[in-house]
Amino acid sequence: MSLNVSDLSIARGGLPVLEGISFELTRGQALILRGPNGIGKTTLLRTIAGLQPPLGGTVSCGEDQIAYAAHSDGLKSALTVAENLTFWASVFGAQSIEPALEAYNLAPLRDRPAGALSAGQKRRLGLSRMMVTGRPIWVMDEPTVSLDQASVTLFANSVRGHLDAGGSALIATHIDLGLEATVLDVGPYKAAPLEFDDFDGGFL
Amino acid sequence: MSIWEYANPRKFLQTSERVMPVLWVSSGLLMAVGLIWGFFFTPDDYRQGSTVKIIFLHVPAALMAINAWFMMLVASLIWVIRRHHVSALAAKAAAPVGIVMTLIALATGAIWGQPMWGTWWAWDPRLTSFLVLFLFYLGYISLWEAIEDPDTAADLTSILCLVGTVFAVLSRYAVNFWNQGLHQGASLSLDEKENVADAFSNPLYVCMVGFGLFFVAMVFYRTGTEIRARRIKALMARERQEA
Amino acid sequence: MRDLRLAVRAGGGFGLGLAFFLIVTVMVPFSVGPESDLLSRIAPGVLWLGALLSCLLSLDRLLALDWEDGSLDLLATAPLPLEAVVTIKALAHWITTGLPLVLAAPFLGVLLNLPLEGFKWVVISLLLGTPALSVIGTFGAALTVGLKRGGLLLSLLVMPLYVPTLIFGAEAARRGAMNMGVETPLLMLAGISAGVIALMPFASAAVLRINLR
């Protein structure tokens, strides 16, 4: 299943930020998004994940293909690591959480409440969620924030495993993950200010 | 030439600026004529004396209070379906006018009720319904104020307006069921024999038309203000983006 | 699906609504005086108002927690439709808040000198009405989810929407306590609950989608 983005333009807070973005992501492929802070990477990922409507252009992929990981991990601090993961596994209809715990070295922490985890451990738990979604396209926003070197390796391995299994990944990150991936710098796609003369243009 | 052309803010502003002087003058004239006629040139009611004359404020205000909400509902629907910004802003602009009309209706009603029923306030269905309508206006306006992003605010208030309408109608029935009231029936209706006497009805019609035109003028005026405010905001945002 | 209930329970605030209900009920005799016939006359209404306020109290945490920790974004991209998510949220709210209130109402009725015939109808009307309170409340919570000081606004928005439910519910309880016919208000109450449960999730989900973008 491939993700096809053509001539996409997106807006944040009513202002266009990026325009004319096109790319294709096929099975086994990874795409790294780069660009300075505030350029609109998060907005782009949210648009691709279907959380907000694009200003123009299309995002096409099959129904329910994308798993999205945001800045925040969506963990309930009163539940244990295993309970948190089991919840998402049941939402997505996955069978077992063991491979995910294993891949991120979370098995020793499984009965610890998520509230008692360190920032990096929380992040690992958040990322392991991707593995229980069973979705082929991973869309991740700054996944390596607060991860140490060893954890970054764990993450890179998990993405590699996902790619080898025929999945694909779209990752916004600033560090080098050591993956064979295409890099897309979104800087040149910065949107030009809109013309004032179009239909409802006085507002945009 | 379709009506949707006025969905363009610029076109709307041009047209409304041309129409507005006419509206202001005619509504002012009609209201003055209606009120003076009503207050000074109608006979006193044989039961109610001169207190009855507050009807010339009370009924038109109540009429506009309901119609303003109805107009907001239509404007919200247009925004939800066709996404014309002017429509959303018109709904926003109408709300404060509507709430003031509701307040006028409630206040004049209380002033009228004191000599007639011997009380400023009774939990009569009509009075209560207007109070509930007032609360709906309050919620609607607060929601507009609370949300920063204008498109999000327009979307959310539109849905609130739709849902609110359903619940306002439900409340009307609930309140009716809950307490049969003191209030007389509608003052004017087409199918009823027993209407307000003709001596009262003519100036009342004039007042109602005057209030209606006044409402339209106010909404045009306030919509224009909202459009300009929105444009300033957009220009400032763009400036910040370019800097 | 049932894990969501777990998540909500873990979020805490389980007993808080109940305690609030108790406090409100206890404060009433202090404010209107201890005459037992007056209390027994207003008891059904007080119980309904107390239940409504306790419901309101717990609403702003209903979606706000999930909003803050990012779960809502993730749930919105999950295979569950958002309509189902808000329905489950409302159900969870009812189970953790509405149902305990219904169960506690008879005991608080004793404090207010509720007539014997009233107990049955207070419980039945609350049982029929509190689901509507939860579902309507979820809509309000969805409207105000992104706002910093949403709590107060939430009350302002939700209260008018509660008017029909409150009127029919309290009326049914009042008539029951006075040995009058309860069918009409009870049927209206059930109708409102059914209609609201069927339609309101769509409005809540639509609002939530707008707030998430």
| B141 against A24, higher pLDDT | B141
Summarised one tens digit per residue, pLDDT across range B192-223 is: 444 556 667 888 888 999 999 999 999 999 99
Count of structural domains, chain C: 1
Global pTM reads: 0.85
| Average pLDDT of the segment spanning A60-81 | 80
| Cα B196–Cα B197–Cα B203 angle in degrees, nearest 5 | 85
- Looking at the complex, does the CB of residue C156 fall below 8 Å from at least one CB of chain A? no
Is the pLDDT at A24 greater than 70? The verdict is yes
Is the pLDDT at B186 greater than 60? The verdict is no
Which of the listed ranges A161-175, B134-148, B172-186 does the model predict with the highest average pLDDT? Answer: B134-148
Q: Are A127 and A69 in contact (CB under 8 A)?
A: yes
| A13 with B237: Cβ contact below 8 A | yes
Smallest Cβ–Cβ distance between C7 and the set A49, A64, A79 belongs to A79
- Looking at the complex, does the CB of residue A53 fall below 8 Å from at least one CB of chain B? no
| B118 against B183, higher pLDDT | B118
| Average pLDDT of the segment spanning B152-159 | 90
C1 contacts in chain A (CB < 8 Å): 90
- Looking at the complex, does the CB of residue C74 fall below 8 Å from at least one CB of chain A? yes
Q: pLDDT category, B191, cuts 50, 70, 90?
A: very low
| A52 with C213: Cβ contact below 8 A | yes
- Looking at the complex, does the CB of residue B159 fall below 8 Å from at least one CB of chain C? yes
- The pair of three-digit structure tokens given for residue C147, joined into one six-digit string: 């706002």
Contacts within 8 Å (CB) and 24+ apart, B147-154: B147/C146, B147/C147, B149/A13, B149/A14, B150/A14, B150/A203, B150/B230, B150/B233, B151/A14, B152/C210, B152/C211, B152/C213, B154/B79, B154/B85, B154/B88, B154/B89, B154/B91, B154/B92
Position C157, amino acid: L
Smallest Cβ–Cβ distance between A53 and the set C11, C74, C213 belongs to C213
Name the neighbours of C, counting chains with at least 3 Cβ pairs within 8 A: A, B
| B174 with C211: Cβ contact below 8 A | no
C-beta neighbour count of A96 within 10 angstroms: 10
Summarised one tens digit per residue, pLDDT across range A101-134 is: 878 888 888 888 888 888 888 888 888 888 888 7
Q: pLDDT category, B182, cuts 50, 70, 90?
A: low
| B138 with C156: Cβ contact below 8 A | yes
Smallest Cβ–Cβ distance between C168 and the set B139, B167, B174 belongs to B174
Q: What is the mean pLDDT of chain C?
A: 85
Rounded Cα gap, residues A145 and A164, in angstroms: 24
Q: Could you tell me the residue range of the domain that residue A125 belongs to?
A: 77-132
Phi, psi of A31 (to 5 degrees): -130, 125
> Of the ranges A54-58, C135-139, C161-165, which one carries the lowest mean pLDDT score?
A54-58
| C164 with B170: Cβ contact below 8 A | yes
Contacts within 8 Å (CB) and 24+ apart, C147-156: C147/B146, C147/B147, C150/B146, C150/C60, C150/C64, C151/C60, C153/B142, C153/B143, C153/B146, C154/C56, C154/C59, C154/C60, C155/C56, C156/B135, C156/B138, C156/B139, C156/B142
> What is the DSSP pairing of strand A30-34 with strand A168-172?
parallel
Backbone conformation region of residue B188, classed left if phi is above 0, alpha if psi is from -120 to 50, else beta: beta
Q: pLDDT category, A18, cuts 50, 70, 90?
A: confident
| Average pLDDT of the segment spanning A53-58 | 83
pLDDT for B147: 86
pLDDT for C131: 93
Smallest Cβ–Cβ distance between C160 and the set B135, B146, B177 belongs to B135
C-beta neighbour count of A122 within 10 angstroms: 20
Count of structural domains, chain A: 1
Backbone conformation region of residue A51, classed left if phi is above 0, alpha if psi is from -120 to 50, else beta: alpha
- Looking at the complex, does the CB of residue B231 fall below 8 Å from at least one CB of chain A? yes
| Average pLDDT of the segment spanning C157-173 | 91
> Of the ranges A159-168, A188-197, C45-54, C68-77, which one carries the lowest mean pLDDT score?
A188-197
Q: Which of C193, C196, C210, C211 to mutate to test the interface with B (most CBs of B within 10 A)?
A: C210
Q: Would you kindly state where each structural domain of chain B is located, as residue ranges?
A: 19-40+49-179+197-242
pLDDT for A199: 41
Residues 6+ apart with CB under 8 A from A5: A21, A22, A23, A24, A25, A48, A57, A58, A59, A60
From 1.20.120, 1.10.860, 2.160.20, 1.10.287, which CATH number describes the B19-40+49-179+197-242 domain?
A: 1.20.120
Is the pLDDT at B96 greater than 90? The verdict is yes
A93 within some domain: yes
Rounded Cα gap, residues C98 and C92, in angstroms: 9
Rounded Cα gap, residues A67 and C31, in angstroms: 56
Reported ipTM: the value is: 0.87
Is the pLDDT at C158 greater than 60? The verdict is yes
Count, residues in chain B: 243
| A76 with C71: Cβ contact below 8 A | yes
A106 within some domain: yes
Which chain B residue's Cα is nearest to A192? Answer: B242
Q: Are C130 and C102 in contact (CB under 8 A)?
A: yes
| Average pLDDT of the segment spanning A132-142 | 84
Q: Give the up-direction half-sphere exposure of residue B140: CA atoms within 13 A in the CB hemisphere.
A: 32
Is the pLDDT at A136 greater than 50? The verdict is yes
Smallest Cβ–Cβ distance between B230 and the set A13, A193, A203 belongs to A203
Is the pLDDT at C53 greater than 80? The verdict is yes
Tokens 């802003």 found at: B89
Q: pLDDT category, C129, cuts 50, 70, 90?
A: very high
A81 within some domain: yes
Q: How far is CA A31 from the centre of its chain?
A: 11
Scanning B188-217 for CB atoms below 8 A from C yields none
Is the pLDDT at B242 greater than 70? The verdict is no
Q: Helix, strand or coil for residue A16?
A: strand
Which chain C residue's Cα is nearest to B167? Answer: C161
Is the pLDDT at C49 greater than 90? The verdict is yes
pLDDT for C191: 92
Q: What is the mean pLDDT of chain B?
A: 83
> Of the ranges A35-44, B65-74, C2-11, C75-84, which one carries the lowest mean pLDDT score?
C2-11
Q: Are B95 and B76 in contact (CB under 8 A)?
A: no
| Average pLDDT of the segment spanning C108-136 | 89
Q: Which of C167, C168, C189, C192 to mutate to test the interface with B (most CBs of B within 10 A)?
A: C167
| B238 with A15: Cβ contact below 8 A | yes
pLDDT for A204: 44
Q: Which of C61, C65, C66, C74 to mutate to test the interface with A (most CBs of A within 10 A)?
A: C74
Summarised one tens digit per residue, pLDDT across range B38-91 is: 888 777 766 666 777 788 888 899 999 999 999 999 999 998 888 888 888 899
- Looking at the complex, does the CB of residue C183 fall below 8 Å from at least one CB of chain B? no
| Average pLDDT of the segment spanning A11-37 | 82
Q: Could you tell me the residue range of the domain that residue C49 belongs to?
A: 2-212
